[in-house]
Amino acid sequence: MKKVTMYSTPTCHFCHIAKDFFNKNDVAFEEHDVSSDVEKRTEMMDLSDQMGVPVIHIGTDVIVGFNEPMIRELLDIK
């Protein structure tokens, strides 16, 4: 399976939805709280040109926001 990294904040509703989705579908993911980790916030902004969360990095693809159909496609989840 492709490596999944999510940049999030504790108060982000869509971040919680994404985490629930990954957990429900047994997708291992690395999470970075960009509200407290300046280095990861900069990394996220360099990767996505965005300040909004979640930013989800799957393999070489970057998704801004929670786009379930795209995530399912990239991870081959039916």
SS3 19: helix
**pLDDT confidence band for 1 (50 / 70 / 90):** confident
Q: Which residue has the tokens 């995530």?
A: 71
Paired tokens of 17: 């939805």
- Residue written as token pair 């291992």: 28
Range of the domain at 30: 4-75
Domain count, the chain: 1
Residue 15 has pLDDT above 80, yes or no: yes
**pLDDT at res. 49:** 94
Residue 5: closest CA among 51, 35, 44: 44
The CATH number given to whatever domain includes residue 58 is 3.40.30.10
What digits encode the pLDDT tens for the residues 37-65?
999 999 999 999 999 999 999 999 999 99
